[in-house]
Chains A and B, each alone.
Chain A
């Protein structure tokens, strides 16, 4: 099993390296940091612009492969992912933003996954009853609404509630804001700011996982081993919990491992709508800001997340599936 995981890991690392290198070439040819300097009025001295760009390894007059070699050397030797065209180091920025993203997405995604799996499993045992129809229709509806529309709708509702009650219950700009000086005020402030994005993320994850879990559970419930369990006299609740639910949780685990990977970039809309300065927002602002190094760092980060998710799911499969474990 160890060698199986190691082989997969090596494969993923090679894949990630090639993917990041290709995105470097893509970003370096498609984004134009020089434009940022050309927009300035009165025009800057071309020589100083050029030297500024060269010092950051961003000049399009240096051959692409030379820039790539310098960029790669910086990462391998000093873990230096380069600089923004007009800002500071990419590494520090990414480090700070990962924390913001984690604070934003953890609660909502865990809650959504848990409730979604339970809801999906429960509705599968009640197929085509009103509760199942309602839950299926509800999750289909949520999945059909773009994430930022959900966020906007929640913001409108929250504003109405705030105005109606006269209390600023919901905050939706940024991570923190003005707060009183009573004990725990800072924490309460953070919770207030997290409330709406967490509701939005929970809804989206709930819809996604309840749909998946319902389908898997329906397959499991229709399978022979559940019928056998019932036939030998097991109570229905026990057959469902012990035999159907456990089996159907295995593929859900794989989905969850991969969803961890896409969470960081998937929460981009929430970050923008609720002004959280996390990784997703960084990805968008680096592209609009012609920041080659920043863009590649975000691509590398999300690629690394996919890799972690893939390894986690491989490990889960290796533990749960005897055919993989024993071969």
Chain B
């Protein structure tokens, strides 16, 4: 990949670095091209808009409902949706809408934090392993294999069961989800770095006396950035799903705090009798993950120079 990504849409121009201001010829910069290709993918655009809506909803949540998520309404235990509680109330008299918005906020926070952490780890370990080679590479590959053998779900469950339950215990969950989620991407980063580190510009940087960390961060990582962006996006959705699964069993976010998974875990057990406990968090989590996946697909099509789905360049 790397330099091939530098693509010029106009068939009349040759592939060369393009100045931002194209002048009279129809040259466009790479970022403009990617933006154009992304905007062509309607489902990705809808997904992106909805994600922004979700983020706004999650941030504005406390102001949208006059119930707070941990407030108990002693006149409405387990009541179906009504004017008082638009999405119903739980067994303990908490408002479902406030809870869903709170859960959305937590799930979004966990999804994005895990994605940044695990993609960052994958980028650093994968590229350093390939760049240095030798024993460092062997140890890194061995650790990757080891982590792939163990069932991450069970080990995260063991660790969260043993850890103390405080208001910040979800941060441990973030760290664990990231710690068990970086291995496969690190392998891909490594194999890409292996080919990039032989390129002339990397050699030149090295011979000019640039240190290894600077070379990697300035010259290697930008050239695999498209992979990293796609990987991070897909990590958001897989982290949200993993958090949902763990919380469903009670290994994730602990009460009184809540996440979409915690709500679903409570709702799924009584879905036939009290569907409103299940429907709103289920719709929220499915819509959120679907949007993130759609954006991931759109980014992949937009960033991949070999993709045909961008349509024909005009």
Contact = CB atoms under 8 A, between A and B. Distances in A.
Interface of A: 12, 15-16, 18-19, 22-23, 26-27, 29-32, 128, 137, 140-141, 143-149, 152, 155-156, 159, 265, 268-269, 272-273, 283-284, 287-288, 295, 298-299, 302-303, 306-307
Contacts of B180: none
A152 B154 contact: no
B149 A307 contact: yes
A155 B270 CA distance: 11
Contacts of B250: 288
A172 B162 CA distance: 33
Contacts of B264: 146, 148-149
Contacts, number: 111
Contacts of B282: 149, 152
Contact of A155 (B145, B148, B163, B271): B271
Interface in B153-167: 153-155, 157-159, 161-163
A288 B160 CA distance: 11
B193 interface: no
B293 interface: yes
Taking chain B's interface residues, is the majority helix, strand, or loop, or is none over half, making it mixed?
Answer: helix
B249 A144 contact: no
Contacts of B142: 15
Interface of B: 43, 142, 145-146, 148-151, 153-155, 157-159, 161-163, 237, 241, 244-245, 248-251, 261, 264, 268, 271-272, 275, 278, 282, 285-286, 289-290, 293-294, 297, 309
A128 B309 CA distance: 9
A171 B149 CA distance: 35
B157 A287 contact: yes
B150 A144 contact: no
15 contacts: A15-B145, A26-B159, A27-B158, A30-B158, A31-B158, A145-B286, A146-B245, A155-B271, A156-B271, A265-B151, A265-B154, A287-B157, A287-B158, A295-B154, A299-B151
A15 B237 contact: no
